């Protein structure tokens, strides 16, 4: 009996995630899980550098993660860095300093690899069927799109249009002005041409939102209905289309103060959820996708499944 205890870190643009788990890939036990709002892309995401304060926050988070890894007697460790560290001029410097201070070796992956792990994570959550689906994973730095079914990936691509980047470009005033929404729409029309061609070819029937903003949509909907909702105990959630559209409309028209007061939206997501909402409604309308599902599994669960596999 091989009892590996694995720590997976997903070092994203806004949040650093740590997941410690053991057991079989398709039914692992979570030992410990935490998320830190590092905001690595703050003030620098579109300038291509990690700013000093963000750099320091990132290092501090990694030192806390290392303490937790030791405390939980982990046997195997994997740290994956994505868009923010990938595109930053001082990303390698960050990787080096983390290794010096904590001994953790960060593996830098490209958008293709990122999409591959996300597929594996979503597949592990059990929400894929034999009909084609479009997975959308909205990160802070990049967004991964994967057209797939339970058997295979048909097409995948990562675009550098994450929520932190879109917010920096289009959401400067609150509530977001109609002119900015139109600008964002035109930007997506020209940026996502490859995706539209692939969608014409493979005709996905369902949109699957991978964790992130989709978790917030689900929580807001359920809490508004007065239902208890535990995201930790949810693998897959199927949206009622009308509920989802109502919440998206509310968020797009909202002020920062209103969003901050809505139960179910974690602080790091209060502002980015506006562009995430616009991206979601855009995909639903553009590709005529009315069936929307959320999976709480994503990159880190995909990495974990591969390591436990």
Q: Are strands 106-108 and 76-81 parallel, antiparallel or unpaired?
A: parallel
Tokens 């290392």: give the residue: 66
Nearest Cα to Cα of residue 37 among 70, 13, 8:
13
Q: What is the pLDDT along the chain (309 residues), one digit of tens a residue?
A: 457 899 999 999 889 999 999 998 878 999 999 999 999 888 877 788 999 999 999 999 999 999 999 999 999 999 999 878 888 999 999 999 999 999 999 999 998 999 999 999 999 999 999 999 999 999 988 999 999 999 999 999 999 999 999 999 999 999 999 999 999 999 999 999 999 999 999 999 999 999 899 999 999 999 999 998 888 889 999 999 999 999 999 999 999 999 999 999 999 899 999 999 999 999 999 999 999 999 999 999 999 999 997
Tokens of 228: 């208890």
CB neighbourhood size of 104 (10 A)? 19
Which single residue is written with the structure tokens 């070092």? 11
CA distance 130 to 149: 5
Q: What H or E segment, with its residue span, contains residue 186? A: helix 178-191
What is the gyration radius of the CA atoms in the chain, in angstroms?
A: 19
Cis previous bond, 267, omega within 30:
no
Strands 291-295 and 206-210, sheet pairing: parallel
Alpha helices in 38-177 (DSSP H): 52-71, 83-87, 91-102, 111-125, 163-170
Domains of the chain: 5-108 (3.30.420.40), 128-299 (3.30.420.150)
The backbone region for 73, taken as left when phi is positive above 0, alpha when psi lies in -120 to 50, beta otherwise, is left
């Amino acid at each position: 009996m091989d009892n590996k205890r694995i720590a997976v870190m997903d070092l994203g643009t806004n949040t650093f995630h740590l997941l410690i788990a053991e057991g079989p890939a398709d039914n692992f036990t979570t030992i410990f899980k935490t998320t830190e709002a590092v905001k690595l892309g703050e003030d620098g995401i579109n300038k291509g550098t990690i700013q000093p304060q963000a750099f320091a926050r990132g290092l501090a988070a990694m030192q806390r993660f290392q303490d937790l890894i030791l405390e939980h007697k982990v046997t195997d460790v994997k740290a994956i860095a994505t868009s923010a560290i990938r595109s930053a001029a001082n990303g390698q410097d960050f990787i080096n300093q983390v290794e010096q201070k904590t001994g953790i070796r960060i593996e830098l992956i490209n958008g293709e690899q990122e999409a591959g792990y996300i597929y594996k994570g979503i597949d592990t959550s059990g929400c894929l069927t034999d009909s084609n689906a479009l997975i959308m994973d909205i990160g802070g730095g990049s967004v991964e799109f994967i057209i797939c079914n339970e058997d295979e990936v048909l097409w995948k691509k990562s675009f550098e249009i994450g929520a932190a980047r879109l917010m920096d470009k289009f959401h400067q005033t609150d509530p977001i002005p109609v002119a900015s929404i139109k600008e964002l729409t035109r930007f997506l029309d020209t940026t996502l041409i490859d995706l539209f061609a692939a969608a014409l070819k493979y005709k996905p029937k369902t949109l699957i939102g991978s964790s992130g903003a989709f978790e917030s949509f689900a929580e807001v909907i359920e809490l508004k209905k007065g239902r208890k909702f535990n995201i930790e105990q949810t693998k897959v959630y199927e949206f009622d289309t009308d509920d989802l559209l109502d919440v998206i409309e509310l968020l797009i028209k909202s002020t920062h103060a209103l969003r901050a007061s809505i139960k179910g939206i974690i602080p790091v997501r209060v502002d980015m959820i506006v562009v995430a909402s616009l991206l979601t409604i855009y995909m639903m309308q553009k590709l005529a996708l009315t069936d929307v599902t959320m999976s709480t599994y994503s990159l880190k669960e995909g990495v974990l499944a591969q390591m436990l596999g």
